[in-house]
Structure 1
Amino acid sequence: MSEAQRRVARILVDTPLSHLDRPFDYAVPDELADGVVPGCRVKVRFAGRLVDGFVLELADGSEHEGKLAQVAKVVSSEPVLAPQTAHLARTLADRYAGTVADVLRLAIPPRHARAEAHPPSDPAPTPPDIGSASWHAYLHGATFVEALAKGESPRAVLNVLPRHEPERAVAEAVSAVVRSGRGAVVCVPDVRDATRWHEVFAEALGPDAHVVLTAADKPAARYRSFLRVTRGEVRVVLGTRGAAYAPVKDLGLVVIWDDGDDLHAEPRAPYPHTREVLLTRAIEAGAGVLIAGHARTAEAQSLVQQGWCAEIVADQSSRRREWPLVEVTDGTEHGAAAARLPAAVFQAVRNAEGPVLVQVPRRGYRTSLACQDCRTPATCPQCHGPLLQHRADAPLVCRWCATEVPAWRCGECGGTRLRAPVVGQLRTAEEFGAAFPDRTVLTSGGSAVLDHVEGDGSPLVLATPGAEPTVSGGYAVVVLLDTWLMLGRDDVRVVEESHRRWFNALALAAFGARAVAVGDSTVLQALVRADPVTVAARELTDRAETHLPPVGRLATVDGPEDVIGVLAKRDWPAFVDVLGPVPVEPGRERLILRVPRREGLALATVLKQLAAERSAAKEPPVRIQIDPVAF
């Protein structure tokens, strides 16, 4: 396009207002003509203010009949908004009833001028052929890697066995994709995972064959890594949920590890899930898909049952051999009341010849207190909130208002003695330390999470779910305490999430290790059979009966009571099932909208129109979330 034709720039303006979620045309002045390129950052006048924007494209004319405002400034001529990213942002905004500007805030990191000044480097060399040894333990596993190497785009759900390094298997799949001339995006839940996977990727693919994108990176380093992708210097991106948007050229494979982890759910509008972002990209680019984990979500099971993804699992004998043998106890002995430290757990820990992992559902010390005499919950005299204790010598504190209660007395019976129906890992560590004085007791959870512990000295590690550290060679014994407590949470995904936590803990066991789960044996049979697939299939069946995701689509609308009350009486389309309002906190309520899966996009359109109406009328916005992880 000649300079004479480069007079109109179509720009995505950074505005959160739903009724303005569209491109706007601006005239390009002569002095900025050389700097305004598709994908670059600019400043424009919008509603009387100077705001940021991205140039979508350049055109030789505009449908706007009046005089166009001019581009005020070129922030940078670096084309950071790739066409495929702009298209993805539009698709996700429509899917989640959000705005393109909100999606682009998640997709493109803030600019760092010094990183942009860094000169481009040569493209990363093609990684070596590292084979597919890690896939031979699974039925049709090697076939998946072979298809990628041939330039095909297979889609699969992989259930990983303990000690079979998932990062190594994914590195082999990525190597096959890159050698076929394509790129890959790999997303893991948190920085701990990214660090561990990065080490394996650097060894298997070469030190410069990939970049890591996480929110924990310093701004300059993160932006520099992002630029290496946009400039085509690397074709492999590893990172947390923000990496899902990385504009990898010739995308051939998207991978998500442990897609049930709630860290994959974006907490910022429009609240997209990493899995859905990657699946959308795979569909648009015709890329392969790999959803991997020790457990399996109902969403992944749905893709398998629909035939959209193949299933890659080990045969039954291999599963039984690789997973630890799980013994289930209800904590009772000869008809007596359940013990805090059941005999089966005591014997397993005492006889363990190596490190021991104990998973405790709650962090803290004594997280719930009640009267020892009448069992009435202990509450704050000021606000009636629940009381807790941070350590043995600490005063009682209200969980709601933080008021200290130095002299508590039961309001029902006048008693002053307390019991703890629920204790955290710190109190449990004290109990285990007293029972096993010959072992070093370590805790992991909350703000003090251990990444790795050494097996020397046979430590006893008490960790909250998701904070379990690795240990060289694996744990000799894994104990799952108080499984009933995890299942007692008020959450529609509680069964799926609990099993995911348990399988992830059991996967840290050494070969031939023993495991003890304290709970109901009828509920924990999937652990005994080493069968996460059955849990996912049963969960999917339950979701189908209640028309919940992924079988149906569901949206929540949160706002002030008066606003939600009006919306509840709104004339919704016939396909929308309106539930509520239900209170979520003082002064705020929630409306739940449920539709068949085929009407999901129609529901998003209706909700986006609702948001646009409110923003145009300058009314306070409501919080709209589609397919939330919890509601």
Structure 2
Amino acid sequence: MHPAVGDGADSGGAKRQDTAKKSGAGRSGNGGAGSGRSGTAKKPGTPKSPAATLPVAEVAVDVSLTHLDRPFDYLVPADLADDAVPGARVRVRFAGRLVDGYVLRRLPASDHPGRLGYLERVISPEPVLTGEIAALARRVADRYVGSMADVLRLAVPPRHARAEAAVTSGPAPDPTSGEDATPTVTNGASQDVSAQWRQYAAGPAFLSAVSDGRPARAVWQALPGEDWPARLAEAAAISTAAGWGSLLLVPDARDVARLEAAVAERLSPTAFTTLTADLGPAERYRRFLRIRRGEVRVVIGTRAAAFAPVQRLGLLAIFDDADASFAEPRAPYPHAREVLMLRSASEGAALLVGAFGRSVEAQLLVESGWAKDMSASRATVRERMPRVQAQGDSYAIGADAAAARARLSPAAFAAARSALAADAPVLVQVPRRGYLPSLACAQCRRPARCRRCHGPLGIPPARQGVAGEPDRGQIPTCGWCGVPEANFVCGACGGRRLRAISIGAGRTAEELGRAFPGVPLITSAGDAIRDRVPDAAAVVVATPGAEPVADGGYGAALLLDGSALLALPSLDAAQQATRRWFNAAALVRPAADGGQLVIGVDGALPAAQALIRWDPAWFAAGELADRRQLGFPPATAMISLEGSERTVTDAETELSAPAGAQLLGPVPIETRPGTGDPAEERYRLLLRGPLADRRALAAAVRTMVVELGVRKDAAPPRVQVDPAAVL
């Protein structure tokens, strides 16, 4: 078993009696807070009687405290016996107050020796929480040292009564019958599907496993220029034709729209749905209920859809898994890729992790043997990739010129002119949006900081400047507090002049407009993102992730300021840089059709070599080897504990780390103004150990959190498993 999967899988009905003793709360629904009196719709004083059949309900209460993270038993009143079904939302009295919860199962009796309280009421008899999702929530909570209640808030959307009434007004359809079970593809289209996937050595075998319902797992290395939405749609159609459900995850709404269009060409409109966080409460809940009731077989979505209750799940797929949007920003901070891995292991569904690049985590899956590499041959890759040049290459155009290492080198200009002459669009990728987002002292080159909050100074996009130096009449503005800095004085040398240290998409578009007069200029960044551009001469300036798809592919792509991406103070800076470069390069035509790509970094760097050779697996393997040597995730298990100095100190004192584990810190960490209490400095403690001890580390941290949670003079720290920002 892959080490990232098998991280503890207590079922949704597990009880921890040792925790109960420490918190003073047994299995009774009273939470250790007195008698079991509860107020139902009956008159006060009216005696209640339990249900004749299965009178005990095991309830997951909506309480995030870790020391109370277990189910509690309640008696089911006779008048609620038919509505209190497993998966239904209920209201219960817990520690003297009414809280929400979910019925996990009905039992004939409870092993709790004390008196049980009654369910207050059934909010809705609709069983929104399936047994598979409840078990998954328990596994995710254990994997990320969180509470099941927090995971369930991510898994089940809030109830919307009107939407629920609309969905439940008619009988639920039989998911095994009807036209929805058959993809609307012709025989010729089916042959095209096999031909496209046959380019990958393990492609036909994986699709055969999907059709048979076998839990195959593959890391898919998409070819340059690959129509990945079509490939995922074909896999979903094969799964649907065999009677299985599919769950397809992509980073953002633009990718959802592309994938939805591809699936619509192969399946009937009623056979699939999309599920994203930006849907309104009513529509999201309506679609969730349709999925839970088996009315749709294929679900397309973003991170929010990772817990979608797809019936007869046969295929799980995630594309561009290294995208930061797949990491949940709310506790317990699960990653969508890890959630799908847990679902694949528990529900026996096939898993496909695809991307143009390759994440270090995906490489670990391949090297551990948990997943199989699914790549094309080197001959096919060379046939599909564009011609790649790096800044300063000896064979590049103008390599001996003084401007060879300029931001726009002679090679970049030559590639752009060649593409525009062929009436093809040119893509220019700029790491940052804005105009001049970062400034520095012109005398000592130190970053310019706001004198009030020490935030970075920059020139907003609306202002105009002179190349290389902002106008003296312009007023820089703080990027944090927004206050203009009219009289800048460097705190280090006393200098008063400013220079640009990074150039945004707005300024780049302005410079290119002067360099290529008469050529249409298109900007895609921030709130103005373009989805597609026509197959005609144009210069498209875009930030990473906002690149429009060009009909017929781009004739050339210029990846500017690559050193700025590689210099970011983050553990995965190089991985994120290569991911963005590969995603942009995949939009360029093959070299045989004139496609060219110029990258603005030294060609000797490993990240640049990965793009020149189009070998992201080689780069990911090198990154993984470096992390093994340095002891960084995912090669090792690491847990971050953050909080005030006293909180972290208490956690260190209370923590009983397993043998072989390391404690690093505590050390103060920098917090951005406005994100926390400025009067209290935050500290971080890192717990690190081998992957084989991941479950032991998580158990030790959970025990520590429980111990601090029951104390009145201490507070548990913020816990994050495998943190990306450890530098």
Q: Fold match, TM over 0.5?
A: yes
Question: How far apart, in 1, do the equivalents of 2:75 and 2:491 lie?
Answer: 73
Greater mean alpha carbon deviation, residues 74-83 or residues 434-443: 434-443
- 1:562 is matched with 646
2:407 matches 1:351 = no
- 2:527 is matched with 447
Report the aligned-residue RMSD: 2.0
Question: How far apart, in 1, do the equivalents of 2:334 and 2:446 lie?
Answer: 42
Question: How far apart, in 2, do the equivalents of 1:26 and 1:274 lie?
Answer: 33
- 2:539 is matched with 460
**Structure 1 residue 335: deviation in Å?**
4.8
- 1:575 is matched with 660
- 1:533 is matched with 617
- 1:15 is matched with 63
Greater mean alpha carbon deviation, residues 6-15 or residues 417-426: 417-426
5+ long unaligned stretches in structure 1: none
Please give the residue correspondences for 1:318-329 in structure 2 after superposition, counting only pairs within 5 Å. 318-329=380-391
- Partner deviation per Cα, 1:495-526 (whole Å, 9 max, x = no partner): 11111110000011123311111111111111
> Is the Cα contact below 8 Å between 1:27 and 1:71 reproduced in 2?
yes
Question: How far apart, in 1, do the equivalents of 2:634 and 2:155 lie?
Answer: 25
2:434 matches 1:378 = no
- Partner deviation per Cα, 1:40-73 (whole Å, 9 max, x = no partner): 0011111111110000111121122222111111
Kindly tell me: are residues 425 and 143 of structure 1, through their superposed partners in 2, closer, same or farther at Cα, counting changes over 3 Å? same
**Structure 1 residue 19: deviation in Å?**
0.7
> Is the Cα contact below 8 Å between 1:132 and 1:173 reproduced in 2?
no
What is the letter of the counterpart of residue 308 of structure 1? W
- Partner deviation per Cα, 1:61-114 (whole Å, 9 max, x = no partner): 112222211111110000111011111111111111011111111111111112
**Structure 1 residue 462: deviation in Å?**
1.2
Of 529, 542, 552, the match for 1:473 = 552
Question: How far apart, in 2, do the equivalents of 1:270 and 1:385 lie?
Answer: 29
Of 604, 608, 612, the match for 1:522 = 604
Question: How far apart, in 2, do the equivalents of 1:490 and 1:564 lie?
Answer: 24
Of 268, 275, 278, the match for 2:337 = 275
**Structure 1 residue 374: deviation in Å?**
4.4
5+ long unaligned stretches in structure 2: 1-49, 394-398, 465-473, 672-677
- 1:362 is matched with 432
Aligned length: 629
Please give the residue correspondences for 1:593-608 in structure 2 after superposition, counting only pairs within 5 Å. 593-608=687-702
Please give the residue correspondences for 1:375-524 in structure 2 after superposition, counting only pairs within 5 Å. 375-391=445-461, 392-393=463-464, 395-410=475-490, 416-456=496-536, 458-511=537-590, 512=593, 513-523=595-605, 524=608
> Is the Cα contact below 8 Å between 2:641 and 2:686 reproduced in 1?
yes
> Is the Cα contact below 8 Å between 2:224 and 2:381 reproduced in 1?
no
Please give the residue correspondences for 1:281-300 in structure 2 after superposition, counting only pairs within 5 Å. 281-300=343-362
> Is the Cα contact below 8 Å between 1:89 and 1:104 reproduced in 2?
yes
What is the letter of the counterpart of residue 363 of structure 1? R
> Is the Cα contact below 8 Å between 1:9 and 1:26 reproduced in 2?
yes
Q: Percent identity?
A: 47
Question: How far apart, in 2, do the equivalents of 1:139 and 1:572 lie?
Answer: 44
- Partner deviation per Cα, 1:155-180 (whole Å, 9 max, x = no partner): 21111113321121112222222222
Please give the residue correspondences for 1:49-64 in structure 2 after superposition, counting only pairs within 5 Å. 49-64=97-112
The alignment partner of 1:43 has SS state of: strand
**Structure 1 residue 447: deviation in Å?**
2.9
- Partner deviation per Cα, 1:521-565 (whole Å, 9 max, x = no partner): 111111111111111111111121123222211111110122213
The alignment partner of 2:306 has SS state of: helix
Question: How far apart, in 2, do the equivalents of 1:552 and 1:495 lie?
Answer: 19
The alignment partner of 1:565 has SS state of: helix
> Is the Cα contact below 8 Å between 2:59 and 2:104 reproduced in 1?
yes
Please give the residue correspondences for 1:50-449 in structure 2 after superposition, counting only pairs within 5 Å. 50-117=98-165, 118=167, 119-122=170-173, 123=175, 124-128=180-184, 130=190, 131-330=193-392, 334-335=401-402, 338-352=405-419, 353=422, 354-391=424-461, 392-393=463-464, 395-410=475-490, 416-449=496-529
What is the letter of the counterpart of residue 126 of structure 1? T
- 2:634 is matched with 550
The alignment partner of 1:504 has SS state of: helix
Question: How far apart, in 1, do the equivalents of 2:416 and 2:159 lie?
Answer: 53
- Partner deviation per Cα, 1:433-466 (whole Å, 9 max, x = no partner): 111122222222223322222334x221111111
**Structure 1 residue 265: deviation in Å?**
0.7
Greater mean alpha carbon deviation, residues 303-312 or residues 320-329: 303-312
What is the letter of the counterpart of residue 160 of structure 2? H
- Give TM-score, length-normalised by structure 1: 0.95
Q: Which has the higher strand share?
A: 1
- 2:711 is matched with 617
- Give TM-score, length-normalised by structure 2: 0.83
Kindly tell me: are residues 578 and 409 of structure 1, through their superposed partners in 2, closer, same or farther at Cα, counting changes over 3 Å? closer
> Is the Cα contact below 8 Å between 1:294 and 1:504 reproduced in 2?
yes
> Is the Cα contact below 8 Å between 1:297 and 1:496 reproduced in 2?
yes
Could you list the runs of 4 or more consecutive aligned residues of structure 1 that deviate by over 4 angstroms after TM superposition?
409-416
